[in-house]
């Protein structure tokens, strides 16, 4: 089998090519029995074209099929050459004005939130951009595939149905024109003939179920016996299982198995074996056997190759039909006609029916092909769309049944087409009235939920996995119901009424099965053993919530329907509760002279259910009666007399009591399932049709009954009746009963009950209950959300209810209640509540959770204090009730209520025991406040005719009647005002008393003057009050000031820590080391010119440096001979500066890093967090980490964010990822510098001396090797004259302490290991090179960052980088002392030879191919190895200076050779300065040296300018290098951005500001050297244009440019197909932000092998593009992905924000997204700073789940 994939395709049968399409068509045109003729053709040719061999050859097959099979059909159809025929058809066509573009997976789609009829109406990108909606509020999503553009569908859009492109077509065509008029009779007949034959053929063969036999008419005469073993897709088995099984069954490699598996997953089937029957059958049985263990086995069939061939062609044919009808709407109509024509078998025998009904039997690929054909034919023709919709509705039950048995996703099921049909308002209406669709859907749904209890209610308790799976699938039916209901009828026909009510009946039956389901009983004694299943019931409730709301919306539209629905609902409810009083004994309750009969029922003892959809629906309809005023208009038609308020309230009340008891801790033993249910009951997803409606039902009940009776029943259900009905029960209760828990429980229950009363009275913001508009309701929700704290748009949206159109209605009102605050660089935009809206704040808002309530209370009180107001939070003024509910207000002033209030106030006055709580009092005060507000409102709105019946103030002024003879409520309030233990509530009590007085005045004045006295007047009356207020105000001011200072301080801290981590660390460090740091400029040098190197170098006396170890907190001075101190450091390979991303180190073992190419393609970066430790402390720490990790990994097999085996650890202080440490050293140069400055040689002289020394060195080396080989060759030795003062035998003593030497080796080895990705080997001669390289590279990266941000060189570097560079440079300078002296000497010689050639080195890179900074650093840092043997009195500093000058000159030549300076007309400054003349001369000389290959340039100005620009980065880097090496402070001029930077730099670097002088001063030797550089053959090749070279200055690398509009990226990604699986759409297209490559991530198809492991496309790419580090944008998710190595990764916020300043990770909200440049810059900076790995480390430490993700598979 292994060879199968590569098996050669058999040669094409010549006879096939000779077949003439025209001739065949001609024959068909003559034929009498056309079908027979065509079938013969197919029988003969199809098996010859398709399926010849084990693997399909799609291109060849397509080519032949077009030629031999489709060609004749096209000829036949057109009656002429189709090359002419089709264009003619197209021209004659009057195309439909529908766009109908079918979406690809991942393609962006747009929906207008203002104009779309429902959210399923979408536009393609092209139509959207040409439509009016792009100026509207729109939503953008990515398509899941399937579905098409609704542009041009007038039913889909309230406005602007056409885009510019499709608008053109509308003017020409009259709406209902028959498209056939544009076709000739002949054409119609031919199309009809060929379409019916071919469509029939395709349907027959695709639905053919026999494996070894062909349909009639297609039987082969000579039957070749080849078979396929066909593997089918299912959603049960995983990729891994399939791959594993295939490897076993057909003996293929893993790679092939993966290929098969991906194809099966994509197309739905794939042959895995080809051969004779037995051979295939054998594979089949292995597969079946291997996969049958877990679940049902994989589907495998052994099929005759001819069948497979015909099926392949059948699919091709359907696609062909889809293409052909694209030429003409007439052809499309004919095809529709053919498809829907009833066949010989009557009902359901049309081709379309046949296909639909076999849908679940077809494989994925076949389904999607015919679905596509349906979409481009039936759904695009308005007439046939309707007929198709009818077929679909009639088959609905069967289709759903098939779907339920099928295991494929819904997206590939024909049932998914429902959205295309049911959302069209006219179709939906027609299907409801003519096909009774609503009832069909609901009944089908109910049919599929079979598990019921004895009362016929749904039972999910004992659901098996399979049932749970079906339950998930059946939920799509609810979506269908939603589609049908989504557009509401404007006018009703009797038919519609009747069919809707029929559907409503069915719906009530469904709700009836839910009423009372999942009942629960309180668990006492023991905790429940198993959490009961509750999710299914809630899922159902949640899914149905919108449908229930929509049902009510429909009812609201027609009075007749509403009345009927109300009656039906009531009767079902009564039926549900027919056994209402059974077994529940009636009892009599008496209180305050009132009595009522109820039943004995305790929530805490008997069964109770949260699911009461019938009651709640009735509550909703009741509100509609009020809202539509039907209740007043037709009272006689309503069964109002049948209503029994106690029956109505019973179950909702029980449910609310259950919540209260749960809150009081009485149901603890029932476990989390109950807690969850209570949570969802109140949650925004469910509450509208659960909690809210229960409140409405109670309001309905109260408004229809005596409030005293209501309250008594309520007390009884809360099990509090005893407490309030027995005088002095409270007292007894608190003294006798010592059970604290029970007292506490009762307290909570009382609080809850009071809260419930507050809600019943206060929640009147739904139209129909209170006199409000719908916007008032949403405004109130927003006000209360924002009372908690300012919120982002998405947070608000989440807290608000979405309607069926996914709208919250928020945008229309938000401006009125809130102000928007834009986001900064992090965080998001926030809405803040407008101050004038706080007066509407209600502390007991019913949608607050407990936590939200207390947060809101705190926030509001704080706000009041800030505004210097009292802190009372009185109830807001409420809108009046609608008449139907008006009487419920009396609950506040009824006797039982007054009794409850009085009792609780009495307890508060007595203040004894714990039978009383402050929140209880607070709620009573709130209720009193509500009553007062109500009375005040009544008085203020007093009309002539009505009298105020609400007389609360009078009632609370009366003392209690005998026997209790308690004081009046008012009196008790006055007492409480001065109670010391009620300080918190004082403001509220004061407010109550004040309002009471206002009302009294109002009442008194209402008869005489209508003007009410304002509150201020009352304030002024009492001067005592005023005094007190003044004192209070002052205290308040003082407190506020304190608070403000505290806030500022904490704000500052937060700012430091959060926003500016770097700075924070810096400050920490400053604190750490402030005592020891040397100030940058010591006073002794401040007035002299500062010079960084050379004999003129400014002398600085380095002060003692004492640092503290972060681990042991001990101090230590940094000295050569003390214990080593180290910085935590992270070394990584880097391509950040790379100019050639394709270059990677092929064989690291052989790679020679001595010369860095100027493309900087693979550098080694060192970073550090700057935290200092003792080397031995660190060693101990690291050993401990290592030991711990090993234990942990053995035990738990968990990963960590760092890889201990690779030497990684986290900095013990800041948890920064590190993998080695750098030793801290004193300036190393001082140790070797001899202080003799007399008579230093000039450059020429120096080069001569050094060359001599080098020659000696080589001779000695040869000598050595010779002597070790055989006998000594002392002759040469004698000839050799040692240069003066050169002592090659001198071995310098290492000045460093043992521990420092060890650390030098440690860091060097780490750099070598990471930089080259090799095993550590401290002996390798490349170790020192890697150290120098890392020093040079790190300096370069930092220079680039500073330059990009336009920052000066020094003074702006964060401390950690400054420390890092100091240590790194000093380390690199000291490293040679622990390396092999001769190796370093050898490196120096080779390096120098690249500029000063000698005979020993022939093959060095030419100067175009050397990065000069790397060369400089390596030369300077290796030079001491030679110099230490030189005792002639030449200073090391002299060497540094000459080396620097030499490299600088080389760089100038490099720049001149590669500069692309064009002489243009902008030569403005014709000054002919000294520099310009000099550079012209030099350029001329270069031209000579290159044999005039270098173009001559006459503008010195241009040349000088390009040298200055080109050399600047090098000079800046050099300045940093020498600064860190020698410790000479930078002159103040280069610490700021100012003029003459160049001159200042030159001066600091001991360079003449006319750089060309360097050449002139040393022209003797330089002419020779320059000549030698230019004569290199590579230079020649470059100048001849035969090879490229880097030119200067090199641009900084940036991340790619991103488009402003995110949908551009989505579109780009949707056009991207997987590069490996032939044109298939990638599922997770991911964009590399470094190089712009699009990758097919997280998918088997694009996995590759990396170091023996399979990795995803992203990980593989990071190794090519970023040496293991990568920054990607996951386009579908709108998420940035950071990867480092194979195991590290994290997600990062994308740089795209919506208009509300928020990101949308996962593209869930769909608001338009635009690029935020600042945030993108931030990501870019992370990359440039090499902080990606660090960022991942921090993210993983913060969120452990990130560690477990298999990043390498992305």
Please list, in sequence order, all residues whose beta carbon lies within 8 angstroms of the beta carbon of residue 1245, skipping any fewer than 6 positions away. Answer: none
- Residue number with CB closer to Zn ion (1211 or 1304): 1211
Burial 797-824 (b: 16+ CB within 10 A, else e): bebbbeebbebbbbeebbeebbeeeebe
| Contact (Cβ atoms closer than 8 angstroms) between residue 1306 and residue 1220 | yes
- Residue number with CB closer to Zn ion (163 or 1739): 163
Minimum CB separation from Zn ion for residue 1140, in Å?
13
Q: Tell how far CA 973 is from the center of its chain.
A: 55
Please list, in sequence order, all residues whose beta carbon lies within 8 angstroms of the beta carbon of residue 1282, skipping any fewer than 6 positions away. Answer: 1256, 1288
| φ/ψ of residue 958, rounded to 5 | -80, 135
Minimum CB separation from Zn ion for residue 1644, in Å?
8
Minimum CB separation from Zn ion for residue 130, in Å?
6
Nearest to 856 by CA among 827, 879, 833: 833
- Residue number with CB closer to Zn ion (110 or 885): 110
- Residue number with CB closer to Zn ion (690 or 1635): 1635
Q: Tell how far CA 924 is from the center of its chain.
A: 47
User: Alpha carbon of 246 to those of 241, 290, 540, 1681: distances in Å?
Assistant: 9, 9, 40, 34
Q: What is the DSSP letter of 111?
A: E
Minimum CB separation from Zn ion for residue 101, in Å?
4
- Residue number with CB closer to Zn ion (136 or 1301): 136
Report how far residue 393's alpha carbon sits from residue 1591's, in angstroms, rounded to the nearest whole number: 71
Minimum CB separation from Zn ion for residue 1363, in Å?
11
Minimum CB separation from Zn ion for residue 485, in Å?
23
- Residue number with CB closer to Zn ion (122 or 972): 122
- Residue number with CB closer to Zn ion (1632 or 1739): 1632
- Residue number with CB closer to Zn ion (708 or 1643): 1643
- Residue number with CB closer to Zn ion (332 or 1141): 1141
- Residue number with CB closer to Zn ion (115 or 814): 115
Q: Tell how far CA 471 is from the center of its chain.
A: 29
Task: Tell me whether residue 104 is exposed, middle or buried, using C-beta atoms within 10 angstroms of its C-beta: 0 to 12, 13 to 18, 19 or more.
Answer: middle
| Contact (Cβ atoms closer than 8 angstroms) between residue 475 and residue 468 | no
**Angle at the Cα of 1569 (from 1568 to 1574), degrees rounded to 5?**
100
Q: Tell how far CA 1280 is from the center of its chain.
A: 73
- Residue number with CB closer to Zn ion (29 or 1184): 1184
- Residue number with CB closer to Zn ion (812 or 1014): 812
| Contact (Cβ atoms closer than 8 angstroms) between residue 1154 and residue 1391 | yes
Minimum CB separation from Zn ion for residue 1361, in Å?
13
Q: What is the DSSP letter of 791?
A: B
Task: Tell me whether residue 465 is exposed, middle or buried, using C-beta atoms within 10 angstroms of its C-beta: 0 to 12, 13 to 18, 19 or more.
Answer: exposed
- Residue number with CB closer to Zn ion (101 or 1229): 101
**Angle at the Cα of 1103 (from 1102 to 1105), degrees rounded to 5?**
110
- Residue number with CB closer to Zn ion (1330 or 1364): 1364
Minimum CB separation from Zn ion for residue 1525, in Å?
25
Minimum CB separation from Zn ion for residue 1745, in Å?
24
| Contact (Cβ atoms closer than 8 angstroms) between residue 1530 and residue 1353 | yes
Minimum CB separation from Zn ion for residue 492, in Å?
28
- Residue number with CB closer to Zn ion (242 or 1213): 1213
Minimum CB separation from Zn ion for residue 166, in Å?
4
Minimum CB separation from Zn ion for residue 1199, in Å?
22
Residues linked to residue 270 through DSSP beta bridges, in sequence order: 231
Please list, in sequence order, all residues whose beta carbon lies within 8 angstroms of the beta carbon of residue 1246, skipping any fewer than 6 positions away. Answer: 1434, 1438, 1439, 1442
Residues linked to residue 1670 through DSSP beta bridges, in sequence order: 1683
Minimum CB separation from Zn ion for residue 1134, in Å?
14
Helices (H), 1602-1674: 1606-1614, 1657-1665
Residue corresponding to tokens 């015919």: 370
DSSP string over 34-94: HHHHHHHHHHHHHHHHS--SSS--HHHHHHHIIIIIIHHHHHHHHSS-HHHHHHHHHHH--
Report how far residue 939's alpha carbon sits from residue 946's, in angstroms, rounded to the nearest whole number: 11
- Residue number with CB closer to Zn ion (321 or 1639): 1639
Please list, in sequence order, all residues whose beta carbon lies within 8 angstroms of the beta carbon of residue 1494, skipping any fewer than 6 positions away. Answer: 1456, 1457, 1483, 1486, 1487, 1583
Minimum CB separation from Zn ion for residue 156, in Å?
11
- Residue number with CB closer to Zn ion (748 or 1597): 1597
Minimum CB separation from Zn ion for residue 1648, in Å?
10
- Residue number with CB closer to Zn ion (627 or 1620): 1620
Task: Tell me whether residue 835 is exposed, middle or buried, using C-beta atoms within 10 angstroms of its C-beta: 0 to 12, 13 to 18, 19 or more.
Answer: exposed
Residues at the interface with Zn ion (CB under 5 A): 99, 101, 112, 114-115, 124, 127, 133, 136, 149, 151, 163, 166, 1109, 1111-1112, 1169, 1171, 1174, 1177, 1211, 1213-1214, 1216, 1618, 1620, 1632, 1634-1635, 1637, 1640, 1643, 1645-1646, 1665
Please list, in sequence order, all residues whose beta carbon lies within 8 angstroms of the beta carbon of residue 1510, skipping any fewer than 6 positions away. Answer: 1455, 1459, 1591, 1592, 1593
Minimum CB separation from Zn ion for residue 1639, in Å?
8
Report how far residue 989's alpha carbon sits from residue 995's, in angstroms, rounded to the nearest whole number: 10
Minimum CB separation from Zn ion for residue 336, in Å?
21
Please list the helix, strand and coil fractions of the chain in percent, rounded to the nearest 5, in that order. 55, 10, 35
Strands 1648-1650 and 1653-1655, bridge-based pairing:
antiparallel
Residue corresponding to tokens 């209901």: 485
Minimum CB separation from Zn ion for residue 1672, in Å?
8
């Amino acid at each position: 089998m292994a060879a199968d994939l590569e098996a050669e395709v058999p040669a094409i049968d010549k006879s096939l090519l000779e077949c003439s399409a025209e001739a065949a068509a001609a024959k068909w045109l003559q034929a009498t029995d056309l079908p027979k003729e065509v079938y013969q053709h197919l029988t003969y040719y199809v098996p010859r074209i398709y399926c010849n061999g084990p693997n399909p050859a799609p291109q060849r097959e397509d080519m032949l099929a077009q030629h031999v099979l489709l060609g004749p059909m096209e000829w036949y159809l057109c009656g002429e050459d189709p090359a002419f025929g089709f264009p003619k058809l197209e021209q004659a066509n009057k195309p439909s004005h529908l766009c109908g573009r079918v979406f690809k997976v991942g393609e962006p789609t747009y929906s207008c939130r203002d104009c779309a009829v429902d959210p399923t109406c979408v536009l393609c990108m092209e139509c959207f951009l040409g439509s009016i909606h792009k100026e509207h509020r729109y939503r953008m999503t990515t398509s899941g595939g399937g579905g098409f553009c609704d542009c041009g569908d007038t039913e889909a859009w309230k406005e602007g149905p056409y885009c510019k492109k499709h608008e053109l077509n509308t003017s020409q065509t009259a709406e209902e024109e028959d498209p056939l008029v544009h076709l000739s009779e002949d054409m119609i007949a031919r199309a009809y003939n060929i379409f019916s034959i071919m469509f029939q053929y395709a349907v027959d063969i695709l639905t053919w179920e026999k494996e070894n036999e062909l349909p009639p008419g297609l039987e082969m005469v000579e039957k070749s016996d080849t078979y396929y073993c066909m593997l089918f897709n299912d959603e049960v088995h995983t990729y891994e299982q399939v791959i594993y099984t295939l490897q076993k069954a057909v003996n293929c490699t893993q790679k092939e198995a993966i290929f098969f598996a991906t194809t099966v997953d994509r197309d739905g089937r794939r042959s895995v074996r080809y051969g004779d029957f037995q051979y295939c059958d054998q594979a089949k049985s292995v597969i079946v056997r291997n996969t049958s263990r877990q679940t049902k086995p994989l589907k495998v069939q052994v099929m005759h190759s001819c069948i497979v061939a015909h099926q392949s062609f059948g699919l091709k044919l359907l696609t062909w039909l889809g293409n052909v009808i694209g030429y003409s709407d007439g052809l499309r109509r004919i095809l529709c006609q053919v498809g829907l024509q009833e066949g010989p078998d009557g009902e359901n025998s049309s081709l379309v029916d046949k296909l639909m009904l076999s849908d679940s039997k077809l494989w994925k690929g076949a389904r999607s092909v015919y679905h596509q054909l349906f979409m481009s034919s039936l759904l695009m023709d308005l007439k046939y769309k309707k007929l198709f919709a009818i077929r679909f509705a009639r088959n609905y039950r069967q289709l759903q049944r098939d779907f339920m048995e099928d295991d494929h996703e819904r997206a590939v099921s024909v049932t998914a087409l429902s959205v295309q049909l049911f959302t069209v308002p006219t179709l939906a209406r027609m299907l409801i009235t003519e096909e009774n669709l609503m009832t069909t859907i609901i009944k089908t749904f109910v049919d599929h939920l079979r598990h019921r209890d004895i009362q016929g209610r749904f039972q999910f308790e004992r659901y098996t996995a399979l049932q749970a799976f079906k339950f998930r699938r059946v939920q799509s039916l609810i979506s269908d119901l939603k589609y049908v209901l989504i557009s509401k009828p404007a006018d009703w026909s009797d038919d519609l009424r009747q069919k809707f009510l029929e559907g409503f009946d069915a719906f009530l039956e469904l709700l009836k099965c839910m009423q009372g389901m999942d009942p629960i009983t309180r668990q006492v004694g023991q905790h429940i053993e198993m959490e009961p299943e509750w999710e299914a019931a809630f899922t159902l409730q949640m899914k149905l919530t919108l449908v229930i709301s929509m049902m009510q919306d429909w009812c609201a539209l027609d009075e007749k329907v509403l009345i009927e629905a109300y009656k039906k609902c009531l009767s079902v409810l009564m039926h549900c509760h027919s056994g209402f009083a059974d077994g529940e004994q009636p009892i009599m309750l008496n209180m305050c002279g009132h009595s009522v009969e109820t039943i004995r029922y305790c929530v805490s003892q008997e069964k109770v259910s949260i699911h009461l959809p019938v009651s709640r629906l009735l509550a909703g309809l009741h509100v509609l009666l009020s809202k539509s005023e039907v209740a007043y208009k037709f009272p006689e038609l309503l069964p109002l007399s049948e209503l029994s308020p106690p029956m109505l309230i019973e179950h909702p009340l029980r449910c609310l009591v259950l919540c209260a008891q749960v809150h009081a801790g009485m149901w603890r033993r029932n476990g989390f399932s109950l807690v969850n249910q209570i949570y969802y009951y109140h949650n925004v997803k469910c509450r509208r049709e659960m909690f809210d409606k229960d409140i409405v039902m109670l309001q309905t009940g109260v408004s229809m009954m005596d409030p005293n009776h209501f309250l008594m029943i309520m007390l009884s259900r809360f099990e509090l009746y005893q407490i309030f009905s027995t005088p002095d029960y409270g007292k007894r209760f608190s003294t006798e009963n010592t059970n604290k828990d029970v007292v506490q429980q009762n307290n909570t229950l009382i609080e809850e009950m009071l809260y419930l009363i507050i809600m019943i009275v206060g929640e009147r913001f739904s139209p129909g209950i209170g006199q409000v508009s719908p916007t008032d309701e949403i405004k109130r929700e927003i006000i209360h959300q924002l009372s908690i704290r300012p919120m982002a748009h998405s947070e608000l949206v989440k807290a608000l209810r979405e309607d069926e159109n996914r709208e919250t209605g928020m945008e229309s009102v938000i401006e009125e209640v809130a102000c928007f605050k834009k986001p900064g660089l992090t965080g998001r935009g926030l809405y803040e509540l407008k101050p004038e809206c706080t007066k509407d704040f209600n502390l007991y808002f019913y949608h607050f959770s407990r936590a939200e309530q207390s947060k809101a209370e705190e926030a509001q009180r704080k706000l009041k204090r800030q505004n210097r107001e009292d802190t009372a939070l009185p109830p807001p003024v409420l809108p009046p009730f609608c008449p139907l509910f008006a009487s419920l207000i009396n609950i506040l002033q009824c006797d039982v209520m007054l009794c409850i209030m009085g009792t609780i106030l009495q307890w508060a006055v007595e203040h004894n025991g714990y039978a009383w709580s402050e929140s209880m009092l607070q709620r009573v005060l709130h209720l009193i406040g509500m009553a007062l507000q109500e009375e005040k409102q009544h008085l203020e709105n007093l009309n002539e005719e009505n009298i105020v019946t609400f007389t609360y103030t009078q009632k609370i002024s009366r003392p209690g009647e005998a026997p209790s003879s308690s004081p009046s409520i008012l009196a008790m309030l006055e007492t409480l005002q001065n109670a010391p233990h009620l300080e918190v509530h004082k403001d509220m009590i004061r407010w109550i008393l004040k309002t009471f007085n206002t009302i009294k005045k109002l009442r008194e004045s209402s008869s005489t003057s209508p003007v009410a006295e304002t509150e201020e007047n009352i304030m002024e009356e009492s001067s005592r009050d005023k005094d007190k207020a003044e004192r209070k105000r002052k205290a308040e001011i003082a407190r506020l000031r304190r608070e403000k200072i505290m806030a500022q301080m904490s704000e500052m801290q937060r700012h430091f820590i959060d926003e500016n981590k770097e700075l924070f660390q810096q400050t920490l460090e400053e604190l750490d080391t402030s005592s020891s740091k040397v100030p940058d400029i010591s006073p002794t040098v401040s007035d002299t010119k500062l010079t960084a190197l050379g004999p003129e170098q400014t002398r600085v006396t380095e002060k003692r440096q004492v640092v503290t170890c972060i681990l042991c907190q001990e101090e230590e001075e940094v000295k050569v001979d003390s214990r080593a101190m180290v910085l935590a450091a992270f070394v990584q390979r880097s391509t950040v500066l790379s100019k050639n991303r394709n270059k990677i180190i092929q064989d690291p073992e052989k790679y020679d890093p001595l010369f860095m190419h100027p493309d900087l393609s693979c550098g080694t970066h060192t970073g550090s967090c700057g935290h200092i430790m003792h080397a031995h402390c660190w060693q101990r720490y690291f050993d401990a980490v290592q030991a711990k990790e090993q234990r942990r990994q053995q035990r738990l097999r968990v990963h960590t964010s760092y890889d201990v085996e690779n030497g990684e650890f986290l900095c013990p202080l800041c948890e920064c990822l590190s993998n080695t440490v750098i030793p801290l050293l004193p300036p190393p140069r001082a140790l070797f510098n001899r202080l003799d400055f007399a008579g230093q040689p000039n450059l020429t002289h120096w080069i001569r001396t050094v060359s001599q020394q080098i020659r000696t060195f080589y001779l000695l080396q040869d000598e050595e090797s010779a002597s070790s080989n055989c006998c000594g060759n002392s002759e040469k030795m004698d000839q050799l004259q040692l240069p003066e003062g050169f002592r090659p035998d001198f071995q310098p003593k290492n000045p460093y302490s043992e521990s420092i030497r060890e650390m030098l080796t440690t860091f060097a080895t780490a750099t070598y290991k990471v930089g080259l990705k090799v095993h550590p080997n401290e002996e390798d001669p490349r170790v020192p090179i890697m150290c120098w390289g890392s020093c040079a590279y790190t300096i370069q990266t930092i220079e680039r960052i500073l330059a990009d941000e336009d920052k000066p060189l020094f003074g702006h570097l964060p401390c950690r980088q400054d420390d890092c560079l100091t240590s790194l440079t000093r380390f690199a300078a000291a490293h040679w002392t622990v390396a092999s002296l001769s190796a370093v000497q050898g490196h120096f010689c080779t390096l120098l030879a690249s500029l000063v050639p000698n005979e020993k080195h022939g093959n060095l890179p030419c100067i175009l191919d050397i990065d000069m900074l790397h060369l400089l650093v390596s030369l300077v840092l290796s030079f001491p190895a030679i110099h230490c043997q030189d005792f002639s009195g030449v200073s090391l500093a002299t060497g540094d200076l000459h080396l620097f000058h030499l490299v600088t000159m080389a760089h100038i030549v490099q720049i001149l050779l590669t500069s692309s300076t064009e002489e243009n007309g902008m030569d403005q400054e014709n000054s002919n300065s000294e520099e310009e003349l000099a550079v012209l001369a030099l350029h001329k000389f270069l031209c000579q040296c290159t044999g005039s290959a270098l173009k001559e340039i006459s503008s010195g100005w241009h040349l000088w300018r390009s040298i200055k620009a080109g050399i600047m980065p090098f000079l800046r880097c050099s300045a940093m290098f020498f600064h860190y090496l020698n410790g000479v402070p930078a002159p103040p001029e280069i610490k700021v951005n100012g003029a003459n930077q160049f001159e200042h730099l030159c001066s600091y670097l001991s360079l003449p500001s006319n750089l060309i002088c360097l050449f002139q001063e040393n022209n003797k030797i330089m002419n020779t050297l320059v000549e030698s550089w230019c004569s290199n053959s590579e230079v020649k090749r470059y100048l001849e244009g035969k090879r490229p070279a880097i030119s200067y200055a090199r641009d900084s690398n940036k991340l790619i440019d991103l488009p402003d509009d995110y949908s551009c990226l989505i579109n780009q990604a949707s056009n991207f197909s997987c590069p490996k699986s032939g044109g298939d759409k990638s599922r997770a297209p991911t964009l590399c932000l470094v190089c712009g490559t699009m990758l097919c991530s997280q998918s088997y198809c694009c996995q590759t092998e990396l170091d023996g492991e399979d990795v995803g496309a992203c990980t593989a790419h990071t190794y090519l593009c970023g040496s293991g580090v990568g920054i990607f944008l996951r386009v579908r998710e709108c998420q940035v992905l950071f990867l480092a190595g194979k195991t590290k990764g994290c997600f990062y916020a994308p740089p795209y924000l919506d208009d509300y300043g928020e990101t949308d990770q996962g593209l869930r909200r769909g608001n338009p997204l635009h690029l935020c440049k600042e945030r993108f810059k931030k990501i870019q900076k992370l990359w440039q700073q090499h902080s990606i790995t660090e960022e991942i480390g921090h993210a993983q430490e913060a969120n452990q789940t990130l560690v477990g993700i298999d990043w390498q598979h992305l």
